[in-house]
Amino acid sequence: MKTREIKELSVKELQERLDNDKAILSRLKLNHTISPLDNPMQIRDVRKQIARVATELKLRENKQ
């Protein structure tokens, strides 16, 4: 998801997306521990996505 798309989402949608991405990250880490993933870069991509969403939430919180 691009930054432009993240800015178009509401706060509620951002929070849901953040929770969902965190669950995906924990599942990916667990699966990678058990047996190596075909593409371990997925973990990095999900971490970056979490950071983007969290940053947008923080900016909106500080704006109010």
pLDDT tens track for 2-18: 889 999 999 999 999 99
| pLDDT grade for 63, boundaries at 50, 70 and 90 | confident
Q: Residues 18-36: what's their mean pLDDT? A: 97
Nearest to 28, CA basis, from 45, 8, 5, 10: 45
Using CA atoms, how far residue 7 sits from 3, 11, 28, 63, in Å, is 6, 10, 26, 14
CA distance 61 to 64: 6
Neighbours of 60 (CB within 10 A): 13
Domain ranges of the chain: 10-63
